[in-house]
Amino acid sequence: MEPLYKLDMLAVSLNLYEFIGETKTTLSKKNVILFRILNWLILCVALSYIIINFFYIEGEYYVKTLQSMFYLSQPLLKYILLAKQKPTIQGMLWDMLTKSWKYRYFGERITKRTEGIHKIVRYTQVSMIIGSVIALNVYLLRPLVVSTSGMPLESYIPQSVVMDAIVMLSHFYSIWLAIITVIGYDFIYVSSCIYVILQLRLVKLRMRQALNNFNETSTSVLHQCIKHHQFLLSIFFCMRNVYSVLLLYHYLTTLVSTCTVILQLFLRQSDAATYAVNIIGIIFLISQFALYTFPAEQVATEFLDISNAIYISKWYQNNKETQTLVLFVMMKSQQRLYFTGAGLVDINAEAFEAVVRKSFSFGAIVKNLLQI
């Protein structure tokens, strides 16, 4: 995967995955598989004791345990999906590297603007990693100010010193592993969306130029635009397939987690410190869901905007062959394309709004019931 580091926005994700051997070229395939199995086993041990805890708790601890389960199920799911879909993701990223249009051919202004976007993305990624590490350290130090069971996550505590130590170590290891797998996977998704968005804007720019300044090379340029548009569609469908299950997972976990915390807030079963931790957790889940929905919405908008870019150009001054050519592009672009959660729900800004609206509607219903 070493050549893929040339994709600026992916460098952070690829560097993160070096810690778990996924992008290390010096490791053999056998060693990578063994390391995966070890990490999966540690995650499964930590997650299994969290699930067992549901049979021994009541009240506010249900919410804490549920949040702990969601926290560890996410890196496990993303790690498994990464291992399963790694060849597909590598192929997709390689196509992005080798088949993308070079920004420097579109003038200095476009080049500077694009490089600026790449820098902002990289700085944002690094800032999010630093912020996550700081937040995690603060969370792990909470036993100094709040009475806890001693475990980093809400979990069943075995009646054995040895097993206590094993479960606690699995928690600490899993928490740090979660930062690598979750953030790395999310950054690949966001970077790929930004790549598609920027490339679609280049397609629109070149098509407008060809249609507004028609000459003997315009038809050839339009052929190139259509070919690149088809390539970007293939990237889109590849991403939709790769992230389908994960998007449904985020939709459901964000909705369930938000509703359970709202219920706990209205029932007033926790102290102020626990409320603060729960609210921060919900903000994180909602923000992460927004990280998936809004880039997806923008990708869909850019695909749709191809037809608008053609229509406002001087297509009507071109010859019949060119008009017929752009007609098919307009027809294809008017089909609204969205990522989906396992084909059950469209992932876009409306999905984000629906999750937030349903959560607060649930809170309003609970509040009314408590006042009866």
pLDDT tens for 210-223 read 888 777 777 888 88
Unique residue bearing structure tokens 């999010």: 128
Per-residue confidence at 323, pLDDT binned at 50, 70, 90?
confident
Domain boundaries, the chain: 2-371
Confidence (pLDDT) at 270:
57
Residue 113 scores a pLDDT above 70: yes
Average pLDDT, the chain: 82
What is the pLDDT, as a whole number, of residue 4?
53
Task: Write out pLDDT tens, residues 170-179.
Answer: 888 888 888 8
| pTM of the complete model | 0.86
The DSSP annotation for 116-162 comes to HHHHHHHHHHHHHHHHHHHHHHHHHTGGGTS---S-SS-----SSHH
Closest to 180 (Cα-Cα) out of 245, 119, 133, 247: 133
Lowest mean pLDDT among 79-83, 304-308, 330-334: 330-334
Q: What pLDDT, on the 0 to 100 scale, is given for residue 269?
A: 56
Cα→Cα distances 224→93, 101, 149, 231, 261, Å: 21, 10, 63, 11, 52
Collapsing DSSP states into helix, strand and coil, what is residue 269? Answer: coil
Query: How long is the chain?
Result: 372
Q: How big is the chain by its Cα radius of gyration, in Å? A: 24
pLDDT of 231 reads 92
- d(CA 192, CA 93) in angstroms, rounded, equals 8
Q: How far apart are CA 207 and CA 315, in angstroms?
A: 10
The whole-angstrom separation of Cα 109 and Cα 83 is 40
Closest of 343, 354, 132 to residue 243, by C-alpha: 343
Point out which residues pair with 347 in neighbouring strands.
339
- Taking the C-alpha atoms of 265, 271, 274 and 279 in order, what is their torsion angle to the nearest 10 degrees? 30
Distance of alpha carbon 217 from alpha carbon 196, whole angstroms: 26
What's the pLDDT band for 12 if we cut at 50, 70, 90?
Answer: confident
